[in-house]
Chain A
Amino acid sequence: MTGWRRKLQQLASWCREAFRGSGGLKVIVAKELADHFSSTRMSILFSLVAAACLSALYVGALTIRETVGEQDTAYVFLRLFTTGGSSLPSFISFMSFLGPLLGLALGFDAINGEYHRRTLGRLLSQPIYRDDVINGKFLAGIIVLATMIVALGLLVAGLGLVMIGVPPRGEELARMLLYLLVTLVYVSFWLSASLFFSLLFRQTATSALAGVATWLFFAIFEPMLAGIVADGLFPAPEDAPAVQQLRNAVVRQNLSRLSPTVLYDEATVTLLNPGVRTLGPVMVQQLSGAIPGFLPLGQSLLLIWPHVVGLLAMTMLIFALAYYFFMHQEIRTS
């Protein structure tokens, strides 16, 4: 009677010990947040992205004011984000291009910086779990990114409101918030990638370069590569049969979707432009008889659901890899 009771108590206390955590996570997150917010690096980056996005907004708003009479006025508020001018690209293309830089800049020296300063040994000899360190750094990075993205998004929305004077409808607001959320996931992907590089390479400069290289590869070269591979597998000259051309297009698109940048671009365009009804190739027959119109939010979400899941999965995968490496790495400094 007392025997199993004691066993039960032991089990309970073991569970408490195992799941309670050390409390180290909170402390590390707080410290990393303070570091990020007071760092020069952060202010430079934020200024860069803010300047780019605000100028995009300004040009976009001017374009909208010029053309608003010619087009219909539906979803004018969302067009603030997607409209560029002749001289500047739109807000979303800036975000898609510069967002990775934010994530990379926050993480590229996360772990090897600690090695470099020789603080890791001292940090890990405190009564905290080892994974508190990497979890704390990731979490703090996400909080900083979320703060920046939401601040930027709301800033643009507010200024845009002043400039074009058309208040957003509920659906437009929802679409904008979802867009910010997807952006956060996308930027977190780059944060986890840079964390991973900071574990892989002992030199901070190397890991920063590796991050930038990966970013350029996915943003520019991967889609090109997808085209080359598709052309090689299913050559589609002008006079090729439609089936062949369709195959070529589908393969090209699916291959290019291996890049998180492509996934993000497709997802955000669909979110912010309700006029986007499909992301794949469309046959002329399919279009005949179709009534052009806007997709409701639910349908747009359905369209990009795989994209969002894919982005999340990539983020998780890279973070899991980083986590694994960190837990198995020797902490010897020399």
Chain B
Amino acid sequence: MGARRPIIVTENLTKQYGQVTAVKNLNLEIYEGEIFGLLGPNGAGKTTTILMLLGLTEPTAGRALVAGLDPTRNPLAVKRIVGYLPDNVGFYDDLTARENLLYTARLNRLPREEGQRRVEAALEQVGLGAHADRRVREFSRGMRQRLGIADIIVKDPRIIILDEPTLGIDPEGIRELLGLISRFSREEGKTILISSHLLHQVQQVCDRVGIFVNGSLLAAGPIESLGRQIMAGKPLEIELQVEPLFGEVLSLLASLEGVEKVEKQGPYIRLRCAKGKDIRPRLTGLLAERGISLLHLRARGYDLDDIYLEYFQGEGRI
């Protein structure tokens, strides 16, 4: 990525609602041109963080900088360069898709012709060209979401913030949406911040993710390094499937040096190694000697699902 410079920075950003602390001392850096996934369960403070980045909510303490601007002091300048797709985006139901987007264009003070041109292009880009003159009240959830993306395209911002963009749309819609999002990043160099609690979907497109629980950022980085970060100091767990599977296999595996525990879970066998040991290099040879073929082998803790679970089960103690 070359010389990367952060475009969104938060310094000890904190937000309290009465007694409740929604965001606690958040220190985050998001680099220009990357896709950053802010992951966390509902109520973790993701939306609050986003509102503070947009200057729509004032931080209780600390500050945020978006492209070097403080959103609290200079909200207009920030809002000019940031496009925001709120969680469960809404439109004016009585207006058509085109009218809704033209309103956005006017609010952004685009000249009339330029606005119309961009609206047409945006509608085409998200595949709503044929529905431009239909009232939004007739739109499905997925179409609304796409219209929300078109809304951002019209604005053409440097930074795009998407709050739970995949919520409530079908898998095909999600695939299209994520395709659009990664295209923005790859082709147009936009910085994108996605907040979500659905990791699978977001995992595919994010360059880096941050795990956000109870108002604190627990870890941030590329997904692989997050796995290492979390699994460091933890015993390795291996999940495998072999054929033929007979009782002896279990005892054979249990007798291996460095194996602490063996248990059978449906078609899978789970091995827990002793701390600091990894039996994987020896495993295949051993099995092959006995004429047992290996169908599936996976070290747990190296994809987002496990990371996520680990964090949530640990209630952020890690």
Binding site for B on A (CB under 8 A): 22-24, 27-28, 30-31, 35, 38-39, 117-119, 121-130, 330-334
Contacts and interface: CB of A to CB of B under 8 A. Distances in A.
B116 to A, nearest CB: 15
Given A117-B91, A118-B88, A122-B86, A27 B107 contact: yes
A117 B107 contact: no
Nearest to A125: B84
Contacts of A119: 90-92
B225 interface: no
Contacts of A333: 86-88
A126 B108 contact: yes
A122 B87 contact: no
Contact of B86 (A22, A118, A128): A118
Nearest to B137: A117
22 contacts: A24-B107, A27-B103, A30-B106, A35-B92, A38-B94, A117-B90, A117-B92, A118-B88, A122-B86, A122-B90, A122-B148, A122-B151, A125-B84, A125-B86, A126-B79, A128-B79, A129-B75, A129-B76, A330-B17, A330-B57, A331-B51, A332-B48
Contacts of A121: 56, 84, 86
Contacts of B86: 118, 121-122, 125, 333
B51 A332 contact: yes
Contact of B90 (A38, A118, A331): A118
Contacts of A122: 84-86, 89-91, 104, 148, 151
Interface string B270-307: 00000000000000000000000000000000000000
B9 interface: no
Interface in B91-124: 91-94, 103-104, 106-109
Interface string B72-83: 000111011011
Nearest to A331: B56
Contact of A35 (B57, B91, B94, B151): B94
A128 B92 contact: no
A24 B79 CA distance: 13
Chain A CB count within 10 A is highest, among B85, B87, B104, B107, for B107
Given A125-B54, A127-B108, A128-B107, 7 more contacts: A35-B92, A118-B86, A118-B89, A119-B91, A122-B148, A126-B79, A330-B57
A127 B71 CA distance: 12
Contacts of A125: 54, 56, 79, 82-84, 86
Given A121-B56, A121-B84, A331-B57, A127 B107 contact: yes
Interface residues of B, number: 34
Contacts, number: 77
Nearest to B91: A119
Contacts of B216: none
B145 interface: no
Contacts of A38: 94
Nearest to B54: A125
B10 interface: no
Nearest to A27: B106
A24 B106 CA distance: 8
A331 B58 CA distance: 11
Nearest to A26: B106
A127 B90 CA distance: 18
Contacts of B91: 117, 119, 122
B196 interface: no
Contacts of B191: none
Contacts of B54: 125
Contacts of A124: 56
Given A330-B57, A331-B57, A332-B51, A127 B76 contact: yes
Contacts of A128: 76, 79, 107
B14 interface: no
Interface string B40-58: 0000000110010010110
10 smallest beta-carbon distances between A and B, as pairs: A118-B90, A125-B84, A121-B86, A126-B107, A117-B90, A127-B80, A127-B79, A119-B90, A27-B106, A127-B76
Contacts of B108: 126-127
A334 B91 CA distance: 16
Contact of B103 (A31, A39, A129, A130): A31
A213 to B, nearest CB: 28
Contacts of A35: 92, 94
Chain B CB count within 10 A is highest, among A27, A35, A127, for A127
A80 to B, nearest CB: 38
